[in-house]
Structure 1
Amino acid sequence: MRVRIIEPIKSPELKRKRVCAYARVSTASEAQGESLENQATYYQSLIESNPEYEYVGVFADQGITGTKDERPAFQEMLDLAREQKIDLILTKSISRFARNTTIVLELVRELKNLDVEIVFEKENISSFDGDGELMLTVLSSFAQEESKSTSENIKWRYRRKFENGELAINTTRFLGYDKDEYGDLVINQSQAEIVERIFRDYIDGKGTFVIAKELNDEGVLTVASGRWHPSTVLNILKNEKYKGAAKLQKTYIKDHLTKKKCINHGEVDSYFIEDNHSPIVSKAIWEETQKLVVLRAEAKGNTAKEKEKYQNRYPLTGMLFCSKCGAPLRRRVWNSKYASKKIVWQCSTYIIEGKKSCPGTVIDDTALSRLTIKQKTVVEEVFKNGQKYYRYTSKSQ
């Protein structure tokens, strides 16, 4: 008798979807932090309890508006999706994902082309649904209008505050003052000594670069616990609050989508209050300092007219900064009279004061032309094996 062994048929293993979630809260308050933590816990439990899902992670941004697409966790999630390491994204609602209609639709289409599905729980919409895009267009438009309305309400509240002479100052980033229980500015004596020293040194003839260097050499930190730069010193010297006055609404938000802060040149009302709080320097010292700032700027050719003329010439003007002293890089032409001429960007402190003030940073314009620079960037020269390379860092960091 012939016996044949029948092997058991193995059913193909079900491929699990690689799933993540995105969560966001718009402020950094403690309550919002708890909300973000709860969302992360909820989504992790939801994904891990589903046998058809493989948990990729929960990406969460706190204190960042949904009208902007510079959210770090959001961008990390998109990078993974573009590397085809995610199949499904879960999110609470369209407004948590993004409030800008254009951003929502562009990302939904991009991810759909990558076979990445997005599910919006509150609206019960999947980006893979046939009529999903139409619903997203309508609902994200509502979310964008809601964001605009919220922005206008916040602006209105601040305008009322300014009209009533109320300050909106974060003293954790304002050297020399704290706030008392009533929200009024009170002098922080140890910090005030640094402010007084800066004004005194400047009047005695020291420049902003020298003052910043001496403070750094002595290990004195800025109010943000960072290093001093000439621009930091200059901002202190020009701040009217140190003479006890307050100019309100120096800047304004032009667009609720980009949240870009613009200097107020009269586009909106501004308010000036004399004798608003206790001064750190006298009015006489402050006024003398302002005259010196103008005179020294004129001596260097840094007048407002020249700055405007220069800044309007090249897209990268005002965008590049020296890693050694923090000064802006200035566009220059080397060997302009010869065939070997080339365009470079060089430290303005080095150009004006020489290497005794700063060793300087210099970079070819051709190297920069290969980059896409859309924010203020610190350029650092790095030498490795005798070769020079460059490291680029956002100035905000």
Structure 2
Amino acid sequence: MAKKVVQILEKKPLEELEGVQSKQKLRVCAYCRVSTDSEEQKESYANQLDHYTNLIQNNPNWEFVDIYADEGISGTSDKKRIQFKQMIEDAKAGKIDMILTKSISRFSRNTVVLLENARELKNLGIAIVFEKENINTLEASGEVLLTILSSIAQDESRNISENSRWGIVKGFRDGKVYCNTTRFLGYDKDENGELVINEKEAEIVKRIYREYLEGKSTQAIAKGLMADGIKTVAGNEKWWDSTVTGILTNEKYYGALLQQKTITVDYLTKKRVKNDGQATQYFIEENHEPIIPKEVFEQVQSEKKRRAKLKGYKEENAHRYSSKYPFSGKLVCMCCGNTLKRRIWNSNNISRKVVWQCKTYIAAGKQGCDAKAVDEAVLMEAFVRVFNRMKEDKDQFVQTMNRNIEKVLMKNADKTKIQKIDKKIEELKQEYKGLVQLNLKGEMDAEIYQEEQVRIGDQLEQLREQKHEIQVSKESKEQYKKRVQEIMNVFKQKEGLLEQFDDGIFNALVEKIEILSPTHFVFVLKNGVRVEEKI
């Protein structure tokens, strides 16, 4: 075997760096700093000034802006670094495209300050180039560095706020309520800080829940409140549908309290996001007197999911949810796949009839779809027959659903899989940190560093995708179990058989109806069970 020949490809000299902006000339400055007043440091300081002045002025692609220099000042804080602050202000003002500096420690020893400035300037398209580490903050390797340093910065920020944060968390654990009632419809606080029902406002909350389960949309509910002259908790006459949605999803209305719904994800920007399990939450059952029964609250959440699913079809097939009629958005033409629209025949005489027609037929006639109209009364009769048949044979129906639940649970090995993935992700993160530290110390070949960086990044991405797929699958299983329980509750609550169509029960049970003909239907329940019915 021939002797291996190793070719060393040196990093590009700083003179060849031109940033990422496609300008004729980059406006470049440099930042220099020494932290003591010793003669040796002063000489180093002067050398830095000469080095960067010559470097910038001798590069034909660069335009010299200035040399910003602070002498005899620590880099742990920028309060006394006048030149540093001036440089950042000039950069934000659009006077600088690139900042050169000898090393990370010369720029700032405070990782929080470093990250704040690097990220802010990056968003403006301004690069910081650290010569010693060969890092450009606008490049991918620079982002890796920021990611690693971010964890350090978070620790520093945590230390600053640890005392106050500890007090809040202790309050959570002790059941202390952190709840603002000034913009919370339905409740006030008594002299002890406990939540008490505001009876007048509570009636508005009850109305919103009732009307939603009756089939009204959040927009229709908001319009109704405004039409009746009812004001929001802030005293505004305008009701937004998002306000109604917030009321319909607030667990406090059934007496529970979830604390730490949002968390700070960036200790530098203080950005807060919804807490979807990233941090501990504190859920208190029966914390205060409820306005809405828990069962009603859960029915609303199920109905919201059903409507959201229908809205999801809108982009592809122009399906949409309408709150006016119980069959809106639930009838599917099996000839073309479109939904059906409610129409009235002979509206001005005694032969008046309500029917549902395929939207494709309405738009294009028989050439588009030859499905015939369906009588609304026939649909109602069909549902009554389906419900009563399931009710009469309830035991068999419940057994079928229980078997389906068992099949779902048999596949549930999700928790162990997620734990293994989390462990591997953490191992890769630690490996990543070690990699960066070796690179910063100059103990790793640049090419190997890049290869390892890509390898770890790819593995992390794959693991995160696997975890996401498992979580989606797990969530689907939980939703299925919940839907089955909701259907069983409907049968338990309804005594006897249906004598006429009940839109409340219909909405609670039926996901959609597949229309095969004007007298032949398949009712698809919310747990996926299909029930065929011919009139």
Structure with the higher helix share, 1 or 2: 2
Give the TM bin, normalised by the shorter chain. 0.3 to 0.5
TM-score by length of 2: 0.31
Larger radius of gyration: 2
Task: Give TM-score, length-normalised by structure 1.
Answer: 0.41
Give the structure with the higher percent strand. Answer: 1
